[in-house]
């Protein structure tokens, strides 16, 4: 029975309609599973009196990054390093030049420089590790994955220490509230949501590779655009919610945190599970696209978003508009590459 089901499941990816259906179902499972994971994990954390700021910096941030983690890890295990590689870079570009850009362009806001200096430093340190792996070694070895995970652990420890050291009055009030719901229910939902995320990631990764193969598009292009955009939907929802509630600056911290997780958690897990070489599937003017365009762009858009915030303590509308323009140009270039026009 199991073999029959697996054969039927694998057969779906052989056709266009089946691949599209699996892509959509996988995406829905990722989104809903991530939503349930965050809710249940937050419920468990509150039950043990964990401060709200710690929940936000750890549980919620990890929860919104789970789609990227699972898709990249699944891709790496299935020897599709191009998807894992492209997903991490593409998610950062998408998070910064589309999601954050929209909130900045619509409602620029003042920034608490003290709160973002540490995350910004950690991002560029993580980016430096990525640059060394891509440009010096040309491959992501397992030891680099372990280094990335160590950076992630250090970042989490410092974030948690900072949260416990500087709790707000609102957090004290929230800690005093009695937790709602059943602990057993939260644990069951946590397990189910983790399973949904795992299944959804496998569906999304498998269907993406199939669609790319049928269309003759390099898998790295699919990973850096479509898969990256889809797995960034939790961050998009968070940013829109923050904007609607008048907390536009909140999305900046969320985006920076998510980008750090993409570099050291998403890539760290994928590389540790199954090391891979820098993909050479797509080129621009005869050069490896990721080396001459995607990695420099990833670092550039983050610099454009964060440096004015650090030095001027404010986000400016021109930043948002410039980032949006960059994202449009990036997508256009990816389409031209996919059509072999450049």
Instruction: Give the pLDDT confidence score for residue 132 in this predicted structure.
Output: 92
pLDDT of residue 109 exceeding 90: no
User: Does some domain include residue 257?
Assistant: yes
Domain limits for position 263: 51-174+204-338
Q: Name the more confident of 215 and 258.
A: 258
Look at residue 296 and tell me if it is in a domain: yes
Phi, psi of 314 (to 5 degrees): -160, 150
Q: 30 and 37 in contact (C-beta within 8 Å)?
A: no
CB 52, CB 160: distance < 8 Å: no
Mean pLDDT value across residues 260-288: 82
The answer to whether position 41 is within a domain reads no
Q: Look at residue 34 and tell me if it is in a domain.
A: no
In terms of pLDDT, which residue wins out, 212 or 321?
Answer: 321
* pLDDT reported for residue 237: 61
Q: What is the mean pLDDT of the chain?
A: 77
CATH number where 160 lies: 1.20.1420.30
Candidate from 259-263, 276-280, 312-316 with smallest mean pLDDT: 276-280
160: in domain: yes
Inside any domain, residue 272: yes
Beta bridge partners of 284: 287
* pLDDT above 70 (res 51): no
**287 by DSSP, 3-state: which?**
strand
Give how far Cα 192 sits from Cα of 67, 70, 197, 236, Å: 15, 15, 9, 24
- Picking from 247, 315, 282, the residue whose alpha carbon sits closest to that of residue 96 is 315
User: Which position has the higher pLDDT, 160 or 38?
Assistant: 160
Q: What confidence tier does 151 reach under pLDDT thresholds 50, 70, 90?
A: very high
Query: What is the reported pLDDT for 238?
Result: 59
> Residue 285 CB: number of other CB atoms within 10 A?
8
Sort strands 287-288 and 139-140 into parallel, antiparallel or unpaired.
unpaired
Mean pLDDT of 233-251: 60
Instruction: Say yes or no to pLDDT of 304 above 90.
Output: yes
- Segment 226-237 shows an average pLDDT of 68
Neighbours of 212 (CB within 10 A): 24
Is the pLDDT at 234 greater than 80? The verdict is no
Q: Judge whether residue 106 has pLDDT over 80.
A: yes
Q: Which residues pair with 314 in a beta bridge?
A: 110
Lowest mean pLDDT among 70-84, 95-109, 229-243, 257-271: 229-243
Q: Based on the structure, what is the number of domains in the chain?
A: 1
Strands 139-140 and 276-277, sheet pairing: antiparallel
Please give the share of the chain, as a percent, with pLDDT higher than 70: 72
Residue 229 vs residue 291, higher pLDDT? 291
Indicate whether 29 belongs to any domain: no
Mean pLDDT for the stretch of residues 290-295: 86
Higher pLDDT, 134 or 83: 134
Confidence of residue 148 (pLDDT cuts 50, 70, 90): very high
Average pLDDT of the segment spanning 198-222: 72
pTM of this structure: 0.73
More confident residue, 9 or 61: 61
Section 298-319 average pLDDT: 91
pLDDT for 128 equals 94
Residue with tokens 């910096």: 57
Contacts 24+ apart (CB under 8 A), 312-317: 313/110, 313/111, 313/112, 313/113, 314/108, 314/109, 314/110, 314/111, 315/104, 315/108, 315/109, 315/110, 315/111, 315/248, 315/249, 315/252, 316/104, 316/108, 317/104, 317/105, 317/108
pLDDT at 1: 47
């Amino acid at each position: 029975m199991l073999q029959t089901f697996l054969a039927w499941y694998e057969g779906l990816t052989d056709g266009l309609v089946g691949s599209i259906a699996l892509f959509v179902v996988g995406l829905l499972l990722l989104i809903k599973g991530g939503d349930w994971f965050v809710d249940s994990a937050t419920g468990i954390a509150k039950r043990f009196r964990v401060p709200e700021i710690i929940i936000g910096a750890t549980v919620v941030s990890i929860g919104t990054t789970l789609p990227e983690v699972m898709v990249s890890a699944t891709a790496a295990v299935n020897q599709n390093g191009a998807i894992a590689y492209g997903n991490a870079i593409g998610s950062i570009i998408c998070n910064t030049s589309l999601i954050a850009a929209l909130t900045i362009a619509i409602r620029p806001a003042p920034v608490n420089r003290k709160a973002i200096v540490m995350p910004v430093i950690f991002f560029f340190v993580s980016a430096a590790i990525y640059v060394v792996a891509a440009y010096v070694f040309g491959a992501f070895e397992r030891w680099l994955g372990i280094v990335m995970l160590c950076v992630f652990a250090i970042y989490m420890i410092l974030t948690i220490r900072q949260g416990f050291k500087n709790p707000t009055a609102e957090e004290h009030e929230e800690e005093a509230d009695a937790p709602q719901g059943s602990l057993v229910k939260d644990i069951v939902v946590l397990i189910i949501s983790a399973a949904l995320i795992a299944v959804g990631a496998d569906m999304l990764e498998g269907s993406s590779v199939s669609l790319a193969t049928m269309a003759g598009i390099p898998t790295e292009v699919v990973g850096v655009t479509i898969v990256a955009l889809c797995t960034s939907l939790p961050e998009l929802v968070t940013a829109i919610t923050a904007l609607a509630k008048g907390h536009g600056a909140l999305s900046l911290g969320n985006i920076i945190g998510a980008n750090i997780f993409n570099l050291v958690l998403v890539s760290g897990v994928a590389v540790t599970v199954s090391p891979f070489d820098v993909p050479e599937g797509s080129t621009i003017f005869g050069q490896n696209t990721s080396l001459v365009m995607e990695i420099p762009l990833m670092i550039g858009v983050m610099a454009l978003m964060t440096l004015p915030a650090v030095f001027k303590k404010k986000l400016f509308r021109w930043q948002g508009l410039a980032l949006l323009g960059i994202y449009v140009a990036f997508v256009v270039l990816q389409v031209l590459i996919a059509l072999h026009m450049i």
